[in-house]
Structure 1
Amino acid sequence: MFNQDDFGIRPQDPFNVFQPDKLSVTQLEVLNRLITPLIGTQAIGVYHYLSQFANSSVNHSTSHYVIMSELKINLGDFREEMNRLEAIGLIKTYVKHGKENSHFVYELIQPPTPKQFFNDPMLSVYLYKEVDKKRFQELKHYFERQQMDLSNYQEVTRNFTDVFKVPNQAFDAIQKNDIPQTASYKGINLDRVHFDFETLYQLLSNHFVSSEIVEEQAKGLITQLAVLYGITPEGMKGLILKSLTSGQRISYEELRKQARSFYAIEHENQLPALESKVDIQPSPVQKQEVVELTQAPQTPEEFESWFELMDSTSPIDMLASWSKSEPTLKQKYMIEDLMVREQLPFGVINILLQYVMLNNDMQLPKSYIQEIASNWKKKELASAEQAYHHVKEMKKAEKQRKTKQNNNQRNFKNYGQQVASKEITPEWLIRGDHKKRRGKQNKPQTDSGDQSLAQDRAEFLKHLNETWKEDDE
């Protein structure tokens, strides 16, 4: 069994879907009416969508590009919906890692029967929590079939040997076949949950109750109730004692009622709700990769490992480690557009995004990125190392261009100064300058002019005074 931390899906990774039988009308009703309130319409939609690829030839695989394009979601959202389907027991995922890609197989599990669903303490309680009491009763009543009372009737059905002859010889060849068996619903997988049954046995023995009453079926129910309601072995002991029949057997129905009542008392008559984990911490390997993603390589060995990391890391993960936050939905769509439309490898896209961020104050202008991506595709850049060296050449060429531009501007300025010095000065400017210089050298003329100006001013003021007096009269 693979953990989510053990693999990552890439758009180019192929997948196949395995589903022995198509769903019946009743199973579709279970999906639509009972399971949809638990995991949502998007997860159910992914389940229905994958069924179209069921039982195709192993040699004819489909890439995850198709899922991204047709469902209009990114691989992170697809993986999140798959997590819900796997957790509820509707899908099993298998993976085989190769040098170039990872091949996935998705096995679609038949939904539970209505009886299985309502007898499952976890599924039924979570549904009751999601819908109100009235709606829960309506859903339950919908699947309850009115059975005819046959107590006054006698069965007269004929069996096989009454109608057909029994063959005298068996044929092994006829009995052999390769028809796959339909995977039946096994309920919610709690294999990784540990419940201390040894302590429970010891507690029961103190009350002279044998551990043999806890059969395999009872173990499964006890584990479910312990997970659902958070019950310890000490608490479970008390519930079991209250659920014993006169024959010293556990009444499963009574145990469920006792557990539900126990939880309701502790939580003010509230039932547990189905909640997704939001605080999943990265594994130590993932943490190390995040550090390496954000550290600049120095030595040739570091560059080599850094290039390998760039080639194998999803651009969305790289962007998250660089910005130390989850990329926005627009950024995810933009990245997937680059992968789908331009068919650029991870390493090339990672270098492209880093180059753009470093040159645009950590911004990611879409049109600018698309223009560069189109250009890099034409140059057939196929790895992070090729993209890195291409960026270095671009920076070198840009530096040379700026140096040449600065030299041209400096030469143009010097040339302008030389031209200005060789221009012919107009004669009127020369005469004006000459008069100014001559006026500065001949101070007596300047003083005489000042005296004449003062005399004229005095006469003008005298004339004004006389005019005002005439007006006053």
Structure 2
Amino acid sequence: MGLQSAKFGLRPQDDFQVKRDFQLTNHNLAILNRLFTPLVGSSAIGLLHYLNQFVESTSNQVNTHYIIMSELKINLKEFRQQMDILEGIGLVKSFVKHEDNTSSFVYKLVQPPTARQFFSDPMLSIFLYNEVNKQRYHQLKSDFETSTAIDLTEFQEITRKYTDVFKLPKGNLVEDVSQMPQESTYKGLDLSAVNFDFETLYDLLQTHFISEEIITQEAKHLIIQLATLYGLTPEAMKRIILKSITSAQQLSFEDIRKYARTYYLMEHEQHLPSLQQKDQITAPKPSAEQNDDDKNWLQQLENTSPIEMLASWSSSEPTTQQKVMVEELVEREKMSFGVINILLQFVMLKEDMKLPKAYILEIASNWKKLGISTAEQAYQHALKVNQPKPETRVASSQSRYKKHQLASKEMTPKWLLEREQQASTESDDNNKKVDNDNNEEEDQERAAFLQHLKERWGEDDE
């Protein structure tokens, strides 16, 4: 999941401003709508277009995040998720100033790249290629190419210089332009946090008598992009560079991109890398006892509103008091959806489907002190502290749950399933034990009967 609003101190009443230091052209809009939308989705690009209106606003009225929530019909968590995407792809920069009672935010829109910059970027072009099919990719690329370009190789430039037309000025006046806004041009994906071991790469190249001077600053930037995109080690990068050196002992950027892509395809069964959000890459790995159903169930809880979860449990709309209680858990306790869903299910199973507010808030406060922040942590803690109820209480909970069972199996409370499975296993073991005892008695009776027959037959023979 993306950064939560709590990490920014973001609240609905906090104000915001939107800045833009460039003129939004039709070409910019085409880049956003046709090239970035397949990458980040329509929700993120739609939010960018929505924020753009506040740049042109001449009203002195203070804008708060209530406006965004109300007009876009989203909560602060959804807003931050889409902003994370826009910031990560390099289209927005966010700034904050915290004060005692409020926080002020500035969202600065960044000029989108040109089509040439986009398709020259190894990461953006590969991600787009992976999102759309080959035919669509080349169609988009062709649409942005200048079909009316004229070949000037056989022409001679005759453009006049400034000094050919104008007189040189006699004054030494120097104007101060420091207060004039500077355009926020697109600089590609921010990979400043990525570390690539260039020292090892230099050592490997020296064994082949290749000087490190061949790795210019521009080449470094490209190597970091390719290493990040394809997960390349210095050893793999060395082999790619050796293939990409021209006869003039220069590094061909086109070849290094081609060989890096070929290397990745060979290692990954012809599948190119795709653009993934961080939570999809670094999601907590399940324990050895946890199967795929557990992982899917916990992930679904993280992405499901507690209001929706309660509605599915009772097959009816939650009460106003329950909705207020959920909002209080989100706003005051800063709990994620997954933790709240586990908490509510845990209480309902222990309290015969009731939701006593005081009891819930007490548990929420305790879990917050314990640092429980994910559905899996809440689930593991609930398993540890859960104490079985009397048999009749368990049967009542099981019966009521089956009556209102969710349509999705992943939302089934795991401790209830485990309790049912344990009870079923114990019942099966008891039945097996009874069957075994009966079988032993029958065998003893059969053996005694045969012995009796043998004795009788022995007497008859005499």
Q: Is the 8 A contact 2:93 2:107 kept in 1?
A: yes
Does the residue aligned with 1:62 lie in a helix, a strand or coil? Answer: coil
Runs (4+) of structure 1 exceeding 4 A deviation are 3-6, 55-60, 279-283, 324-327, 329-335, 345-350, 356-365
Measure the CA separation in 2 of the matches of 1:270 and 1:87.
23
* CA 1:162–1:275: 2 relative to 1, 3 Å: same
The one-letter amino acid of 2:184's match is A
Distance change in 2, residues 1:59/1:213 (3 Å): farther
Deviates more, 1:98-107 or 1:185-194: 98-107
In 1: Cα distance, 2:283 partner to 2:102 partner: 23
Letter matched to residue 206 of structure 2: S
Q: Does 1:64 align with 2:41?
A: no
Unaligned runs of at least 5 residues, structure 1: 284-323, 369-383, 385-473
The aligned counterpart of 1:468 is none
Task: Specify the alignment match of 2:43 in structure 1.
Answer: 42
Paired position in structure 2 for 1:275: 276
Q: Distance in 1 between matches of 2:168 and 2:99?
A: 53
The one-letter code matched in structure 1 to 2:168 is: V
Asked if residue 129 in structure 1 is aligned to residue 130 in structure 2, the reply is yes
Checking the alignment, whether the CA contact within 8 Å between 1:205 and 1:211 is kept in structure 2 is yes
Structure index of larger Rg: 1
CA contact (8 A) 2:214 2:251 kept: yes
Q: Once the two structures are superposed, what CA deviation does each residue of 1:375-422 show, in whole Å capped at 9, x if it has no partner?
A: xxxxxxxxx9xxxxxxxxxxxxxxxxxxxxxxxxxxxxxxxxxxxxxx
Q: 1:170 Cα deviation (Å)? A: 2.9
Maintained 8 Å contact 2:22/2:184: no
Q: SS where residue 223 of structure 1 aligns?
A: helix
Structure 2 partner of 1:420: none
Identical pairs, percent: 49
Q: What per-residue deviation string (whole Å, max 9, x for no partner) do you get for residues 264-287 of structure 1?
A: 11112111111123268899xxxx
Q: TM-score, length-normalised on structure 1?
A: 0.60
CA deviation map 1:184-211 (0-9, x unaligned): 1010011111111111111111111111
Q: Look up the match of 1:168.
A: 170
* Structure 2 residue 94 is the aligned partner of structure 1 residue 93: yes
Mark the CA change 1:363 to 1:67 in structure 2 (over 3 Å): closer, same or farther: farther
Contact 1:16 1:56 in 2 (8 A): no
Instruction: Report Cα offsets for 1:289-320 as digits up to 9, x if no partner.
Output: xxxxxxxxxxxxxxxxxxxxxxxxxxxxxxxx
Change (3 A) 1:12 1:151: same
Q: Distance in 2 between matches of 1:58 and 1:220?
A: 43
Q: Which letter maps to 1:182?
A: E
What is the alpha-carbon distance in structure 2 between the residues aligned to residue 281 and residue 362 of structure 1? 35
Secondary structure of the residue that 1:37 maps to in structure 2? helix
Q: Say if 2:11 is the partner of 1:15.
A: no
Q: 3-state DSSP class of the match of 1:17?
A: strand
Cα deviations across residues 343-368 of structure 1 (Å, max 9, x unaligned)? 9x955999xx9xx9989977789xx9
Contact 1:91 1:106 (C-alpha < 8 Å) held by counterparts? yes
Q: 2-side partners of 1:82 and 1:254: how far apart? A: 35
Q: How does 1:6-405 map to 2 (within 5 A)?
A: 6-54=7-55, 61-145=62-146, 146-172=148-174, 174-176=175-177, 178-278=179-279, 328=305, 330=307, 346-347=331-332
Summarize the Cα distance change of 1:32–1:196 in structure 2 as closer, same or farther, 3 Å threshold.
same
Q: CA 1:57–1:119 in structure 2 vs 1: closer, same or farther (change >3 Å)?
A: same
The residue type paired with residue 153 of structure 1 is F
Paired residues of 1:15 and 1:106 also in contact (CA < 8 A)? yes
2:22 touches 2:183 (CA, 8 Å); kept in 1? yes
Letter in 1 for 2:79: F
Query: Hey, what's the Cα distance between the residues in 1 that align with 2:281 and 2:269?
Result: 29
Structure 1 position 6, deviation (Å): 4.3
* Aligned residues between the structures: 322
Amino acid at match of 1:155: E
Matching residue's letter, 1:158: R
Shift of 1:100: 0.8
TM-score, normalized by length of structure 2?
0.61
